[in-house]
């Protein structure tokens, strides 16, 4: 149990070993997350070991003796740990840290504080996102509803725009002027093709029908 011995003073380890060797440790209850034990010395110490979960690397030790009540890890706790090791208890599996109740409480307080700070940050971000959405909605309301053309009409507008004639203001005069100029380019006699003329007429007719 080399990983846990460093948490105890040399004197506590020596006295704890003596208690364990004399068979003065009695395990009254044991599970994967908790152990209750009694040490039959002059103090009649009762020891309780707990872990938050099976895979937790730390265990919390509590003893009824005067030394433990001062916040120290005592010989009784070490004796119980030795007894558990001797019996091959699963409780010790993966345990690399021993905490007093005070240390465990302090660690829990730090964890709760960290969780509280995280929650506070999340709420702050939610409020920030909500305010951003409100500002953007106000901008949209100020601009008013955005007009959009039917899909086929927009397709024909995109066609004329791609040919160099963006019809920002869609009216018959602009449409007829664009068709007239493009007809000169796409006419077969001018180097164009029959298909290009057909495509031009298709989009022209579609926009003309929309305007009428």
Query: Residue 2's pLDDT is what?
Result: 56
Least confidently predicted of 19-33, 71-85, 176-190:
176-190
Please state the domain extents for the chain.
2-103, 151-211
Least confidently predicted of 25-29, 62-66, 101-105, 160-164:
101-105
**Mean pLDDT of all residues in 37-44:** 92
**Mean pLDDT of all residues in 24-45:** 92
Q: How buried is 111 (Cβ within 10 angstroms: 0-12 exposed, 13-18 middle, 19+ buried)?
A: exposed
Looking at every residue in the chain, the average pLDDT score rounds to 88
**Mean pLDDT of all residues in 7-28:** 94
The answer to whether residues 190 and 180 touch, using CB atoms and an 8 Å cutoff, is no
- Write down the architecture of domain 151-211 according to CATH: Orthogonal Bundle (1.10)
Distances (CA, A) of 3 to 31, 50, 58, 92, 97: 21, 17, 11, 11, 8
Query: Residue 192's pLDDT is what?
Result: 82
């Amino acid at each position: 149990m080399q990983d846990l011995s460093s948490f105890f003073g040399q004197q506590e380890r020596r006295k704890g070993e003596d208690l364990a060797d004399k068979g003065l440790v009695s395990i009254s209850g044991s599970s994967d997350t908790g152990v209750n034990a009694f040490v039959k010395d002059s103090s009649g110490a009762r020891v309780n070991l707990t872990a938050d979960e099976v895979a937790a690397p730390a265990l919390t030790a509590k003893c009824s003796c005067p030394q433990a009540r001062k916040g120290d890890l005592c010989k009784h706790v070490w004796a119980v740990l030795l007894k558990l090791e001797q019996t091959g208890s699963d409780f010790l599996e993966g345990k690399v840290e021993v905490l007093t109740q005070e240390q465990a409480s302090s660690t829990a307080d730090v964890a709760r504080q960290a969780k509280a700070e995280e929650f506070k940050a999340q709420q702050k971000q939610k409020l920030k996102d909500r305010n951003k959405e409100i500002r953007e909605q106000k901008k949209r309301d100020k601009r008013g509803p955005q007009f959009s053309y039917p899909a086929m009409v927009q397709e024909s507008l995109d066609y004329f725009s791609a040919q160099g004639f963006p019809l920002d203001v869609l009216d018959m005069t602009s449409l007829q002027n664009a068709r007239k100029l493009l007809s000169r380019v796409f006419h077969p006699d001018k180097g164009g093709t029959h298909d290009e003329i057909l495509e031009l007429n298709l989009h022209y007719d579609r926009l003309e029908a929309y305007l009428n």
